[in-house]
């Protein structure tokens, strides 16, 4: 949460985040589905704080937020943060999928390295058959 707060401060060029905005971050974290003013609460079924922070840092989202701060007149800091949150919500699913793919890819590469370490060559020793007059194995 602390990392997310610092990212939001950096993106929006503010020193403090209003206390009212933390409930909006919790809604993203919990996966609360909002329909008008009525929300269906879920417990921790949303996105992690790291995913939310990565979305704020994403180049497309970052540029959109910077553009909105420059072009729009916000009444207060909370309005600016809520507009930025709406931009984040539009892109968070794409960023989340990208992070999952990256994590899976790193895991596959890690497994490949482990598999390569486990492979080794076995020297085949040549079996020499003995000619034994008393050997009856060929009759069995």
* Helix axes 2-12 and 77-118, enclosed angle (nearest 10): 120
**123 compared with 135, residue with greater pLDDT:** 135
* Helix axes 2-12 and 49-57, enclosed angle (nearest 10): 20
The model's pLDDT over 34-53, given as tens digits with 9 standing for 90+, comes to: 655 555 555 567 788 888 88
In the chain, pLDDT over 70 holds for what percent of residues? Answer: 71
**CA angle, corner 6, sides to 2 and 89, nearest 5?**
90
Give the model's pLDDT for residue 101. 92
Residue whose entry in the numeric block shows the structure tokens 């729009």: 72
């Amino acid at each position: 949460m602390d990392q997310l707060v610092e990212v939001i401060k950096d993106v929006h060029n503010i020193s403090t985040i209003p206390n009212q905005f933390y409930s909006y971050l919790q809604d993203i974290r919990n996966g609360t589905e909002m329909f008008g003013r009525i929300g269906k609460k879920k417990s921790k079924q949303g996105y992690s704080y790291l995913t939310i922070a990565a979305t704020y840092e994403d180049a497309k989202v970052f540029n959109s937020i910077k553009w909105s701060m420059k072009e729009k007149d916000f009444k207060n800091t909370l309005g600016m943060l809520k507009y930025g949150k709406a931009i984040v919500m539009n892109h968070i699913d794409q960023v989340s999928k990208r992070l999952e793919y990256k994590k899976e890819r790193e895991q596959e590469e890690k497994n490949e390295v482990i598999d390569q370490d486990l492979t080794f060559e076995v020297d085949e020793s040549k079996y020499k058959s003995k000619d034994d007059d008393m050997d009856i194995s060929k009759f069995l």
